């Protein structure tokens, strides 16, 4: 049974809470307003400070909930550690090329910091280990060695 009570001066959420708590709706609503209210109120739920107590009582008196038993650990979601990283801790490094020669350079060595998206790029004539080591020494001297 739905009864009318209150005024339209109250905040919108108070109307929904009053309806869910005691089936009260605002006095003086037109038919269209009532229809919209009942359509909208279906999308909200009653979230009050003692909801956990109500849920406990509901589960305690629910036959199928009691038959289910406790949730075993194998049914629980695994907890994954969150990796904490700071700026310049993780870099992505890759070569691009070969491209047509421009001022003797055929390759581009690119390093991108994963967190800040900072980009370091250098045009190089070759893609051998010597130029990569020189590039990394320059990078680490300015930003520090990555941790990951």
Give the range of the structural domain holding residue 117, as residue numbers without chain letter. Answer: 91-143
Name the burial class of residue 132, with classes exposed (0-12), middle (13-18) and buried (19+) by CB atoms within 10 angstroms of its CB.
middle
148 assigned to some structural domain: no
Model confidence, pTM: 0.44
Per-residue pLDDT, averaged over 71-90, amounts to: 75
Q: What are 13-41's pLDDT values in tens digits?
A: 667 667 666 676 777 888 888 888 778 87
Given a cut of 60, whether residue 64 has pLDDT beyond it is yes
83 assigned to some structural domain: no
Alpha-carbon dihedral sign for residues 114, 120, 123, 129: negative
Looking at the 3D structure of the chain, how many domains does it have?
2
Q: Do the Cβ atoms of 26 and 8 come closer than 8 Å?
A: yes
Q: What is the CATH number of the domain that holds 106?
A: 3.30.420.10
Which among 24-33, 36-45, 82-91, 122-131 has the top mean pLDDT? 122-131
* Residue 9 half-sphere exposure toward CB, CA atoms < 13 A: 2
Helix axes 31-41, 12-22, angle to 10 degrees: 70
């Amino acid at each position: 049974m739905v009864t009318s009570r209150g005024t339209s001066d109250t905040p919108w959420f108070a109307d929904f809470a009053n309806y869910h708590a005691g089936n009260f709706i605002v006095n003086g609503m037109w038919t269209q307003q009532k229809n919209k209210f009942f359509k909208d109120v279906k999308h909200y739920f009653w979230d009050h400070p003692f909801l956990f107590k109500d849920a406990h009582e509901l589960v305690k008196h629910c036959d199928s909930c009691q038959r289910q038993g406790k949730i075993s650990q194998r049914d629980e979601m695994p907890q994954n550690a969150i990796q904490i990283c700071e700026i310049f801790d993780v870099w992505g490094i890759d070569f691009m090329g070969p491209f047509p020669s421009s001022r003797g350079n055929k390759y581009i060595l690119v390093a991108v910091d994963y967190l800040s998206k900072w980009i370091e790029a250098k045009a190089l004539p070759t893609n051998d280990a010597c130029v990569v080591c020189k590039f990394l020494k320059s990078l680490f001297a300015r930003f520090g060695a990555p941790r990951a």
